[in-house]
Amino acid sequence: MRKVAIVGVGMSKFGEEWNRGFRDLIIEAGVRALEDANISGADLDGLFCGTMAPGNLVGQEHTAALIADFMGLNPIPATRVEAACASGGLALRTGYMAIASGMHDAVVVGGVEKMTDVSGGLVSEALGGAGDQEWELFQGATFPAIYAMMARRHMMEFGTTEEQMAAVAVKNHLNASKNKYAHFQNEITIDQVMKSKMVASPLKVFDCSPVSDGAAAVVLVPLENAKKYSKDPIEIVASAQASDTLALHDRQSLTSIHATQEATRKLFSLANMTTKDIDVVEVHDCFTIAEIMALEDIGFFKKGEGGGATAEGRTALNAEISVNTSGGLKGCGHPVGATGVKQAVEIAWQLRGVAGARQVKDAEIGMTHNVGGSGATCVMHILKRV
């Protein structure tokens, strides 16, 4: 296996981008990544793009070929990757495997979703397909409802409170207010979260990630060639993935994501690292309870202590562990197929030391954690400054 490096990163602004379509968003991100890597399209030999539901959301399938066409990359081999909200992370892992195996020498990996062209009901239905259609969505259990069940159980087993969950949203909006690409640029208070409209009890609007448009992209090459393209390449030290049941009722626990625990185990073993080595992490906070569970499942905090740790400020920028400096899915936004790639873009900026007002001091090693649905897929990466 060859070592793999990220040599270029780029993203579009996340948000309700009504003046731009699916292809505009991914091409903007892709061109920025290529320019950042100072690489021409002719030097690329593969394209991988994560996107979850373009057929339902914009009526477009066959999206990898479309992107290759509009980026002027034909006849490059172009492959779409789908794993619900983990589509971006899985596209990154697919690109990583393509370079590591020696099959490809320079690939662009993108993630994109255009979600705001259809009604909220249709978005919920499209997203609901990431769960078990027959046992969950068909019965009316949309994603806020599914995560609400996890939140209720977490509150019952560990005493986690709604205020502790609100603290996740407050922190992530604060980080997002320092990120010009973020969907939300406004700070919020615990009181605002607590008084926001109930979506699925106990989760309120401000406990939820929003419905967003956006795209992100990275360029990957073998580490041995990286300095040809970038003065500050980022090594992908390890990549891991795990699966679990789609249906929540088949799980042994509602308060842990088993796929996260399994992917974490593999990831740290491949990298020969522990949580203590990680300076900055982007975790999958599709709902505030999801960030708390991720921090516990990865092992930053003991089970049941993630909420308290967040409320005490231990996950804030430059605190014990800097979590979701981009603003996370909650503040930066969650164009589902783009999220996993955006996480890698944010970590690359942090490790290069160019994250501006949200820079983690002396960040050397970062981690990404991308979840599909309620935890049926988990994809994680460890990135390191070279």
Q: Where do contacts with ligand COA occur on this chain (CB under 6 A)? A: 85, 120, 124, 127, 143-144, 199, 205-206, 208-211, 286, 334
Q: Which is nearer to ligand COA, 124 or 318 (CB)?
A: 124
Q: For 180, list phi and psi in degrees, rounded to 5.
A: -70, -15
Tokens of 293: 């569970």
Distant-in-sequence, close-in-space partners of 188: CB < 8 Å, separation ≥ 6: 169, 170, 173, 206
The helix-helix angle for 120-128 and 143-158 (nearest 10°) equals 70
Q: For 28, list phi and psi in degrees, rounded to 5.
A: -60, -50
Say if CB 241 and CB 28 are below 8 A apart. Answer: no
Q: DSSP state, 357?
A: G
Q: Which is nearer to ligand COA, 97 or 149 (CB)?
A: 149
Q: Which of 351, 301, 343, 309 is nearest to 326 (CA)?
A: 343
For the bound state, the minimum distance from the C-beta of residue 292 to ligand COA, rounded and expressed in Å, comes to 15
Sign of CA dihedral 360, 364, 365, 371: positive
For the bound state, the minimum distance from the C-beta of residue 329 to ligand COA, rounded and expressed in Å, comes to 7
3-class DSSP state of 328: helix
Q: Report how far apart, in Å, the C-alpha atoms of 75 and of each of 8, 45, 66, 229 are.
A: 22, 9, 11, 23
3-class DSSP state of 341: helix
Q: Which is nearer to ligand COA, 32 or 173 (CB)?
A: 173
Q: How far apart are CA 103 and CA 45, in angstroms?
A: 9
Other beta carbons within 10 angstroms of residue 92's beta carbon come to 31
Q: How far apart are CA 193 and CA 170, in angstroms?
A: 8
For the bound state, the minimum distance from the C-beta of residue 339 to ligand COA, rounded and expressed in Å, comes to 9
For the bound state, the minimum distance from the C-beta of residue 59 to ligand COA, rounded and expressed in Å, comes to 20
Active site residue 334: yes
For the bound state, the minimum distance from the C-beta of residue 16 to ligand COA, rounded and expressed in Å, comes to 7
For the bound state, the minimum distance from the C-beta of residue 103 to ligand COA, rounded and expressed in Å, comes to 32
Other beta carbons within 10 angstroms of residue 285's beta carbon come to 31
Q: Which is nearer to ligand COA, 206 or 301 (CB)?
A: 206
Q: Which of 183, 258, 334, 369 is catalytic?
A: 334
Say if CB 218 and CB 8 are below 8 A apart. Answer: yes
Say if CB 247 and CB 131 are below 8 A apart. Answer: yes
Q: Which is nearer to ligand COA, 76 or 208 (CB)?
A: 208
Q: Which of 49, 85, 208, 332 is catalytic?
A: 85
Q: Which is nearer to ligand COA, 290 or 363 (CB)?
A: 290
Q: Could you tell me the end-to-end alpha-carbon distance of the chain, in angstroms, rounded to an integer?
A: 18
Other beta carbons within 10 angstroms of residue 2's beta carbon come to 14
Q: Which is nearer to ligand COA, 309 or 376 (CB)?
A: 376
For the bound state, the minimum distance from the C-beta of residue 144 to ligand COA, rounded and expressed in Å, comes to 6
Annotated active-site positions, please?
A: 85, 334
